[in-house]
């Protein structure tokens, strides 16, 4: 559980996560011929980016209306949240029973995950809010120091500071990380 090399990155602002994705895309590592051939995508036609809010929720929830990434009620044995009692981040994959229907691990708890979406009404039609411009983006998934309420697939936040249960101010980026999407360039 304390495998430090396999923990999610933390202390990341949304703009930094976007810059990292752009850096990976610019490296064109993913556009090398073997990867393109295996994936069936055109050579050079891949990009690395943050998921949109809708993509993140779909990866966490699947096609049904589940509340958590797993089927059933809240269970602290399926995510690194405050009720679990770990008190720090855990290595990726420590909670395999909390996997989403698509097999995505740690969608709930551990660290908040930045999306490429600005906070507006949700759900929404494609209205351009994923343009990557601005300084306030939605985070999803809750973190290791949040309770089960934040563990819901539908829970969203965008403020850079929030109150802990003991009313002390903490900054969201302290427990903010990200996961990436690799997609074809449209």
* Whole-Å CA distances, 77 to 45, 147, 176: 40, 13, 21
Q: Global pTM?
A: 0.82
Chain segment 161-180, per-residue pLDDT in tens: 444 455 554 555 678 899 99
The structural domains of the chain, with segments of one domain joined by +, span: 4-184
Q: Are 48 and 24 in contact (CB under 8 A)?
A: yes
Question: How confident is the model at residue 34, as a pLDDT?
Answer: 58
Question: How confident is the model at residue 3, as a pLDDT?
Answer: 61
Report the distance separating Cα 138 and Cα 39, nearest Å: 29
Question: How confident is the model at residue 172, as a pLDDT?
Answer: 57
Question: How confident is the model at residue 184, as a pLDDT?
Answer: 81
* Backbone φ, ψ for residue 31 (5° rounding): -95, 5
List the chain residues with pLDDT less than 50. 41, 161-164, 169
Q: State in words which class domain 4-184 has.
A: alpha beta
Question: How confident is the model at residue 66, as a pLDDT?
Answer: 92
Query: What DSSP string describes 44-90?
Result: T-EEEEPPPHHHHHHHHHTTS--SSSSSSS--GGGSBSGGG---S--
Q: What is the DSSP letter of 170?
A: E
């Amino acid at each position: 559980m304390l495998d430090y090399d396999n923990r999610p990155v933390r202390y990341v602002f949304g703009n930094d996560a976007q810059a990292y994705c752009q850096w990976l895309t610019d490296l064109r590592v993913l556009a090398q011929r073997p990867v393109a051939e295996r994936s069936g995508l055109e050579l050079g036609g891949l990009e690395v980016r943050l998921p949109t809010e809708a993509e993140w929720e779909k990866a966490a929830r699947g096609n049904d209306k589940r509340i958590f990434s797993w089927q059933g009620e809240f269970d602290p044995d399926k995510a690194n949240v405050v009720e679990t009692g770990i008190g720090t981040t855990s290595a990726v994959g420590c909670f395999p029973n909390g996997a989403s229907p698509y097999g995505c691990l740690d969608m709930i708890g551990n660290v908040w995950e930045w999306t490429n979406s600005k906070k507006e009404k949700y759900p929404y039609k494609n209205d351009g809010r994923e343009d990557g411009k601005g300084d306030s983006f939605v985070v999803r998934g809750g973190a290791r120091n949040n309770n089960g309420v934040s563990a819901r697939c539908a829970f969203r936040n965008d403020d850079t500071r929030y109150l802990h249960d003991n009313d002390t101010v903490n900054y969201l980026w302290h427990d903010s990380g990200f996961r990436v999407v690799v997609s074809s360039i449209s």
